[in-house]
A = this chain, B = another copy of it.
């Protein structure tokens, strides 16, 4: 993957996995604005323990985490803390990662990159036989709900340069995908590259 100083570029439509040691932070910068970043985390000690959206919603008592909130695992352990967020705070815990079937149903012809495949491939490059695909934390994704529970997919309101920083509470493998969706408005004219930066000593 290309690097630029301490920053790594995660190319539009691609995925990556990286290791965060306890205490390290990962900053995800929406370089061009409007880009959704599907995000997963697995415990290093046992990758069957994964960041779980349903456990996070249950522990927080809310649909969307905000600064100061922990993000919880399938075993109800805090894996990460959302420590900084300069974006408008639209993130999603409700929607499944896009996958080849999603694009087929949306009318795509031929091959289309997807977050589900990016997840599997990124982990496999780390020698991790990925578990069943967990529901992702869709950073910068704006899904609006109404009183009746109807959901609407909106363009990401993240501006160029907005970033989110996650701090690891235990050693985790984080997988990220610069969502390749171009058949609904979520990526606001993208997909585009994003930038990643690991802060703190390994």
Contacts and interface: CB of A to CB of B under 8 A. Distances in A.
Nearest to A153: B61
Q: Is chain A's interface secondary structure helix, strand, loop, or mixed overall?
A: loop
A63 B149 contact: yes
Contacts of A54: 53, 94-96, 135
A62 interface: yes
Q: How many copies does the complex hold?
A: 2
A152 B61 CA distance: 7
A149 B62 contact: yes
Interface string A136-163: 0000000001011111100000000000
6 contacts: A55-B96, A61-B151, A62-B150, A63-B150, A75-B101, A145-B149
